[in-house]
Structure 1
Amino acid sequence: MKGFISIDCGAANPNNDPDLNIYYETDDGFVDSGHNQQVSSDFMYGRLRQSSKTLRVFPNGTRNCYTIRPTSGGNSSKYLIRAAFLYGNYDGQSQPPTFDLYIGVNYWATINFSSIDSYIHNEIIHVVPSADHTIQVCLVKTSTGIPFISSLELRPLNDTMYQTDATTLALYKRLNIGSNANIRHPQDVHDRLWWADDTNYTATTKFGRWNLTSDPVLVRRSDSYDVPVGVLETFSMADSTGSLSINWQTTIAADKWIVYFHFAEMVDLSLLRDFTIYINGKNLTKISLEYLTPVTIPSEQFTSGIGFNFRFVPTYAGQSPILNAVEVYYLLDPSRIPTALDDANAMNGIKTMYNVMKESWQGDPCVPTNFTWEGVNCSTEDPPRITSLNLSSSGLKGNMANSLANLTELEYFDLTANKLSGSVPKNLLRRASANTLQLRYVVG
C-alpha cells in the first residue's frame, strides 16, 4: 500500500502476509544494533503471523532506536505508528522483560508482559513537522531483562483525520462495538486495528447487528475517517431507559484524553435518530444520524481521573441512541525538545560517514540528558545545542566530514588520535583563530 512501511523485526527475509495483503520488509537499514531471534518452537502454531515469529533483541546499550524516513510530504505529516511485541519464550528463560518505549525523545509506554505468551501492541498517531524527515522509535532498558521488538509499522493518515493540536496521541482503546471480530487491513484502508468488543465496561445497553444482505453504499461526502463497513454494521443500543450509558475504568494516569465516537445509521427511519452526547456529565454535542451517512464525533481534550462516563440521551421519546465504534486516546507529554536539527543531522552524518559504533550513539544526541551520546556535551537551552565533542581515539578514518562545520555552537572539539586526512572545514579554523573554539586535531 502507498506509504505503508511494515518492518518484520528480526526477520532474515522479507515476506508477504496473505491475510492482511501487506508486504513486510526486514529491519536492515532501519536499525544498526541488536540481533535476530525467533520465538520458541512451542509458539510456532496456529495462525501466528509471520511478523510475530521473529524479534530483534538488544542486549547491549541502554537505548536502541529504529530510524524511519517516511516519504509523505506536506507542511506536516500525520502517521499511525504501531509497535508490537511477543516474547514467546525466545530465550528459554520464561521471564519476559520490562522496558520502556520512546517516540523520539519522549516517553511513550512501559512494556510489561503478564505472561510469556502475552501479545502487546502499542499505537500512536504522531505528527512529524515538515522540517524533520525522520521518526525514531526507541527501546530503553530499565531494570528487568533485555528489550526486544517483533514488528514496527507506519501508516500515513490524511490531515483531516484526528485533528488536534497535540503532537502525539497514544491509543488506549479502539473497539468494534458489539462485535466479536478483529478488523484491520484490507477492510480498513488505513490498517487501523479494530479490536473485538471486550465489554470491559459497565453499560445500560444491548448489542445488535444491522440486518444487511450486502455491504451498503455509504455516503462519505463529509467523512474522512473511512471506518470499515464491517465495523459499522454492529452497534450498541440504549436499553429500555432510552439513554445509552457506558462507564469505563482505566489504569492509565494521563492528564488529557480525546475520544472519537463513530456512528452509522443503517435503517431508513422516518424520523432521524437524534441524541445528545455527554462525557463525564459535560455536554459534547447534539447529532442527527442520516441514513447510510457515517459520522465521527471527536471530543475536545478533557481531563479524567480513573475513568469515563459516556452518555447518549435521545431527543425524542421512543428513540434509541446507538454507538458503532469508539477510539479513546490520551495525550503524550511532549515537553522534551530534541537537539537542534542541524546539530542532530551533523552528528548522524558523522556517525554514518565514519561508521561510529559507540553503544550510546542511538536516538537523539542530547535528549533525554541521561542518554546523551558518549563524548558529547550539550547546552541546556531549547532546543539543545552541541557545545563539546570529543572524538579522540574513536578509530575515525578518511577525509574530514563537511558536516563538522554545521556544529556552529561547538566550544571544544577533539579529533586527535584518529586517521583523518584532508583539510579541516574553514568555518572551524576561523572559529579556532577567533578563540571561540578550542580545536584539537591531527591530519595526515
Structure 2
Amino acid sequence: MAQYIADATNEQEKTLRSFPDGQRNCYTLPTNSSKKYLIRATFTYGNYDGLNSSEKGSLFLFGLHIGVNFWATVNLTNWGSSDTMYKEVITVAPDKFISVCLINLGSGTPFVSTLDLRELDGAMFPFLNLSVSISHLARQRYGSVDDYITRYPTDPFDRFWEAALRYKFPFLNMTTNQDVTKLPGNDDFQVPMPILQKASTISSNFSEFNVSVIFPDNMKNIDNINNIDYRSLELLPIFHFADIGGNNQNRTFDIYNDGNLMFPNYIPPLFRAESTYQSGKFLRKRGLNFTLRKTPSSELQPLINAFEVYSLVHTDNLTTSPDDVDYMKEVKKYYSYTRNWNGDPCSPREYSWQGLACDYANGNKNPRITRINLSASGLIGGLHIAFMKMASLENFNLSNNQLDGPIPDSILQRFKAGQLELSDSSCGIPPTPCTGLYPLEAVLERLEFAGKSAEQEDYSIYEEEAPLHIDIKRFTYAELKLITNNFQSIIGKGGFGTVYHGILENNDEVAVKVLVETSIAESKDFLPEVFNSTKVDRRPSKAIPI
C-alpha cells in the first residue's frame, strides 16, 4: 500500500482492509454501556487493487452502518486515489460493544483505512441518547491557523477541526493570548481554548458574511443510493462564539439559515465561550448556508470562532434480542463457525444472517430468532446449550453434521408440546441422520426377550464393543415415525422413557424406547441397558423389545 500512497500524511493511511466477500462486514468495538463515543472511519483508496476505481468515472461507493442503522455513504467517485475521506458519528453505546459495518452496494469493494473510537465526556452533547445519534457533516475553526486539521493533543477528544481558510479580503482574522473562559452551564461541547482564541470577522465596509458547508460534487450521486439526499437531511448547526476583540464596543448580529431567522440580536460574550444551537431541534428541508448579519445598532461586524453541523442518524431498525445475540455468538464460537455472520443476526432484515429466520411481527420490540438452519455446515461436537435457551426458537435443522451426545429433555418437551419443529428428523431433513445424537435416534434389537445385565460396565467399554454387536442398527427419527405410525401406540413406560409399538418394512414387530432424561449419567446408563440386552440368548420371535 505504501508504494501507492508515498505522500500520505498519516502512516495509518498507507494500509487498508478490503471486503470483497459478503454484503455486510462488521467490526465490533468494545464500549461501556450508556457512554458517549465518537467513532471515525477513514478511507484512502490509493489504487491498492490497480483498478483505478476512484478516478475512472464510474460509481465507486459503499455504505456505513452504526449498529443496525444507516450512518453514511462513502462516495469515492472521482476522488483522488491518494486523498483521504473520513466519516464520523457520535453515539451512545447501547451495550458493551458497538458494531461498525461496511455495506456492499454493488458499486465497488468496501474498504477502510482506519477506525477510531474516542470516549467523550458524559456531559457533552446532552441531547444524545439511545434513540438519537448524529453524523458529522462539518467542523470548522476560524482565524489564521498553521495546519489544515487540528486534532489531539489540542483537542483531548481527538476531534478533527478543519481550517475554514477565510484568509482573503474582505475577511479579517483575529487572535488573542488572553484566556477564554467557559460560561457556567455552557460547556456542552468543550471546544479547546486554542480554537476559541482565534476568530474571523469581516471588513467594516461589509455588514454580513456566510458560513456554508460545501459538499464535493460527487455528493450528487447519493440521490439514488439508499434514497439519501443531503438536502433532505435533518440538520443540527452549532455555533461557537467568544468575542476576542478586546474592547467594549457593541457587537450584535442576527443568524439566519437560508433566509430564516434562527437567533436574533445575538451578542457574543467578551473573552468567554458560548455555544449556540437549538437544543434537540433539527432543521428539516433546509440548506446548509448560514448568514451572520450585523444589526443596525451594532458598532462592530459579526465574528465566529468555530462551527459544526451534524445530521440526525435515524434509528428505525431495532436490534435483535440481546439474549438471542449472545446465544448465537456462543454457537458461532463453540463450533468455530466460519460462515459470514457479521453484525446483528436479524437486523436490518436485508442483511440478516444466512440460515436464520426472525420474527419482526411486533414492530416496537426487538426481533427474535425463530428458525435456524445449519445443515451441512461441518459442525462437530455436541448440541450446544445455547440452542436450548432460545425461547422463541420454533425450528432448527442440524442435518448432515457430525454431532454426538444427548438431546436434553428441554428440547424434547418443547418438541412434544408442538413448540419446536425438528424438520421431520432428529436434526434435519431426512433421510440423513444427525450422527451420534440420541435419544431421537433409537437403537432397535432383534430379541425374543430382554433383560438388563446385573453387570454395570462403563459406557466407554460399550462404545468400543459396539462394532461386535452386528445385530444393532440405528434408525433416523423420520424412520422411527414411520415405523411407529407417528408414535401412536404406547406399550409401556420405564425409567428411561416411553416404549412405542412399531412394525418394520419386513413386518417384524418392534418396540421403540425414547430416552427423556436430561442427566448425562442416566443417558449413559441407557446404552449399557441396550448393549447388555444383546448378550442374552436369541430365538426367533416377532416381538422385539428394547
Superposed displacement of residue 272, structure 1: 6.2
What RMSD, in angstroms, separates the aligned Cα atoms of the two structures?
2.7
Structure 1 residues 245 and 92: alpha-carbon distance in aligned structure 2, compared to 1, 3 A threshold: closer
Q: How many residue pairs align between the two structures?
A: 395
* 1:153-168 to 2 correspondences below 5 Å: 153-164=116-127, 167-168=132-133
Equivalent position of 2:181 in the other structure: 218
Equivalent position of 1:43 in the other structure: 5
Structure 1 residues 204 and 159: alpha-carbon distance in aligned structure 2, compared to 1, 3 A threshold: farther
Distance in 1 separating the partners of 2:150 and 2:132: 26
**1:334 lines up with 2:306 in the alignment:** no
User: What is the one-letter code of the residue matched to 1:372?
Assistant: S
Instruction: Give the alignment partner of residue 65 of structure 1, picking from 19, 26, 49.
Output: 26
Structure 1 residues 352 and 207: alpha-carbon distance in aligned structure 2, compared to 1, 3 A threshold: farther
Structure 1 residues 140 and 417: alpha-carbon distance in aligned structure 2, compared to 1, 3 A threshold: same
* Structure 1 contact 242–317 (Cα < 8 Å) conserved: no
Equivalent position of 1:29 in the other structure: none
Instruction: Give the alignment partner of residue 352 of structure 1, picking from 329, 333, 346.
Output: 333
Which deviates more from structure 2 when the two are superposed, residues 243-252 or residues 262-271?
243-252
* 1:47-196 to 2 correspondences below 5 Å: 48-70=9-31, 72-73=32-33, 76-96=34-54, 97-113=60-76, 114-129=79-94, 132-164=95-127, 167-180=132-145, 181=147, 182-196=149-163
Equivalent position of 1:230 in the other structure: 194
Structure 1 residues 351 and 199: alpha-carbon distance in aligned structure 2, compared to 1, 3 A threshold: farther
Instruction: Give the alignment partner of residue 376 of structure 2, picking from 393, 418, 423.
Output: 393
* Structure 1 contact 392–418 (Cα < 8 Å) conserved: yes
Please give the per-residue CA displacement for 1:221-257, whole angstroms capped at 9, x wherever unaligned: 4324221233223222244344444355655233310
Superposed displacement of residue 314, structure 1: 4.0
User: What is the one-letter code of the residue matched to 2:19?
Assistant: F
Which deviates more from structure 2 when the two are superposed, residues 306-315 or residues 391-400?
306-315
Superposed displacement of residue 270, structure 1: 3.0
Structure 1 residues 427 and 235: alpha-carbon distance in aligned structure 2, compared to 1, 3 A threshold: farther
Which deviates more from structure 2 when the two are superposed, residues 284-293 or residues 113-122?
284-293
User: What is the one-letter code of the residue matched to 2:234?
Assistant: K
Identity across matched positions, percent: 31
Equivalent position of 1:375 in the other structure: 355
The structure in which a higher percent of residues are helix is 2
Please give the per-residue CA displacement for 1:109-128, whole angstroms capped at 9, x wherever unaligned: 22222122221100111122
Equivalent position of 1:282 in the other structure: 261
Equivalent position of 1:207 in the other structure: 172
Distance in 2 separating the partners of 1:185 and 1:249: 25
* Structure 1 contact 57–147 (Cα < 8 Å) conserved: yes
Which deviates more from structure 2 when the two are superposed, residues 232-241 or residues 267-276?
267-276
Distance in 1 separating the partners of 2:265 and 2:50: 55
The structure in which a higher percent of residues are strand is 1
SS at match of 1:41: coil
Distance in 2 separating the partners of 1:81 and 1:92: 29
Please give the per-residue CA displacement for 1:61-90, whole angstroms capped at 9, x wherever unaligned: 2211101111x35xx221111000111121
Structure 1 residues 423 and 314: alpha-carbon distance in aligned structure 2, compared to 1, 3 A threshold: farther
Distance in 2 separating the partners of 1:434 and 1:285: 69
* Structure 1 contact 244–313 (Cα < 8 Å) conserved: no
Distance in 1 separating the partners of 2:169 and 2:416: 77
* Structure 1 contact 254–330 (Cα < 8 Å) conserved: no
Structure 1 residues 241 and 198: alpha-carbon distance in aligned structure 2, compared to 1, 3 A threshold: closer
Structure 1 residues 417 and 42: alpha-carbon distance in aligned structure 2, compared to 1, 3 A threshold: closer
SS at match of 1:123: strand
Distance in 1 separating the partners of 2:3 and 2:311: 37
User: What is the one-letter code of the residue matched to 2:271?
Assistant: L
* Structure 2 contact 345–352 (Cα < 8 Å) conserved: yes
Q: What TM-score comes out, normalization by structure 1 length?
A: 0.81
Distance in 2 separating the partners of 1:243 and 1:51: 41
SS at match of 2:150: coil
Which deviates more from structure 2 when the two are superposed, residues 234-243 or residues 82-91?
234-243
Please give the per-residue CA displacement for 1:32-75, whole angstroms capped at 9, x wherever unaligned: xxxxxxx2514223x631211111111222211101111x35xx
User: What is the one-letter code of the residue matched to 1:41?
Assistant: Q
* 1:230-379 to 2 correspondences below 5 Å: 230-239=194-203, 240-248=205-213, 252-270=230-248, 273-280=251-258, 281-284=260-263, 287-299=266-278, 300-314=281-295, 316-359=297-340, 361-379=341-359
* Structure 2 contact 137–309 (Cα < 8 Å) conserved: yes
Structure 1 residues 351 and 40: alpha-carbon distance in aligned structure 2, compared to 1, 3 A threshold: same
Structure 1 residues 133 and 315: alpha-carbon distance in aligned structure 2, compared to 1, 3 A threshold: farther
Superposed displacement of residue 134, structure 1: 1.7
Q: Which structure's relative contact order is higher, taking Cα pairs within 8 Å and 6+ residues apart?
A: 1
User: What is the one-letter code of the residue matched to 2:13?
Assistant: S
SS at match of 2:46: coil
**1:409 lines up with 2:370 in the alignment:** no
Superposed displacement of residue 187, structure 1: 0.5
